[in-house]
Amino acid sequence: MSHRPLEDTIAQPVGTTLERYIMRTQSEFPYATGELSQLLRDIALAGKIVSREINRAGLAEVAGAFGQQNVQGEQQQKLDVVANIRFIRALTNGGQACAVLSEEEDGIVHTGNVQGKYVVAIDPLDGSSNIDVNVSIGTIFSIYRRVSPYGAPATEADFLQGGRRQIAAGYILYGSSTMLVYTTGHGVVGFTYESSLGEFFLSHPRMIIPETGSIFSCNEGNWHDYPEYVRDYLTRCKERRCSGRYVGSLVADYHRNLLVGGIYLYPPTQKNPDGKLRLLYESFPLAFVIEQAGGRAEAGPGRGRVMDLIPTHFHQRTPLFTGSYSLVDELLGMETT
User: CA-CA distance, 129 to 79, in Å (whole number)?
Assistant: 11
- Near ligand AHM in 107-166, by CB under 6 A: 123, 126-128
Binding range to Mg ion, per CB under 5 A, among 15-23, 123-131, 175-183, 253-261: 123-131
- Return phi, psi of residue 182, to 5°: -150, 165
Residue 174 in marked binding region? no
User: CA-CA distance, 81 to 48, in Å (whole number)?
Assistant: 16
Contact 104, 88 (CB under 8 A): no
Pick the closest to residue 253 from 279, 208, 222, 290 (CA basis): 290
Nearest approach, Cβ of residue 285 and ligand AHM (Å)? 13
Contact 173, 251 (CB under 8 A): yes
User: CA-CA distance, 89 to 92, in Å (whole number)?
Assistant: 5
User: CA-CA distance, 178 to 236, in Å (whole number)?
Assistant: 34
Contact 29, 40 (CB under 8 A): no
Indicate the residue among 193 and 281 with the shorter CB distance to Mg ion: 281
User: CA-CA distance, 318 to 320, in Å (whole number)?
Assistant: 6
Nearest approach, Cβ of residue 146 and ligand AHM (Å)? 25
Indicate the residue among 21 and 284 with the shorter CB distance to ligand AHM: 284
* Residue 80 interacts with, from ligand AHM, Mg ion, none (CB under 5-8 Å by kind): none
Binding range to ligand AHM, per CB under 6 A, among 152-160, 166-174, 242-250, 301-309: 242-250
Residue 233 in marked binding region? no
How many residues bind ligand AHM (CB under 6 A)? The answer is: 11
- Near ligand AHM in 93-112, by CB under 6 A: 103
Q: What character string, x for contact with Mg ion (CB under 5 A) and - otherwise, covers 181-210? A: ------------------------------
Pick the closest to residue 49 from 124, 108, 115 (CA basis): 124
Residue 265 in marked binding region? yes
Binding flag, residue 219, ligand AHM (CB under 6 A): yes
Residue 17 DSSP one-character state: B
* Residue 28 interacts with, from Mg ion, ligand AHM, none (CB under 5-8 Å by kind): none
Residue 218 DSSP one-character state: -
Nearest approach, Cβ of residue 212 and ligand AHM (Å)? 22
Q: Which of 55, 68, 74, 310 binds ligand AHM (CB under 6 A)?
A: 74
Indicate the residue among 144 and 281 with the shorter CB distance to Mg ion: 281
Indicate the residue among 123 and 291 with the shorter CB distance to ligand AHM: 123
Q: What character string, x for contact with ligand AHM (CB under 6 A) and - otherwise, covers 244-263? A: ----xxx-------------
Pick the closest to residue 120 from 149, 143, 98 (CA basis): 143
- Near ligand AHM in 273-292, by CB under 6 A: 276
Residue 15 in marked binding region? no
Q: Is the dihedral of CA 222, 332, 208, 292 positive or negative?
A: negative
- Return phi, psi of residue 227, to 5°: -65, 155
Q: Please state, as a whole number, how many other Cβ atoms lie within 10 Å of the Cβ of residue 93.
A: 12
Q: Which helix (H) or strand (E) holds 256?
A: helix 250-260
Contact 280, 309 (CB under 8 A): no
Indicate the residue among 128 and 142 with the shorter CB distance to ligand AHM: 128
Indicate the residue among 90 and 280 with the shorter CB distance to Mg ion: 280
| Binding residues for ligand AHM (CB under 6 A) | 74, 103, 123, 126-128, 219, 248-250, 276
Residues making up the annotated binding site are 103, 123, 125-129, 219, 246, 264-266, 276, 282
Residues lying near Mg ion in the complex (CB under 5 A) are found at 123, 126
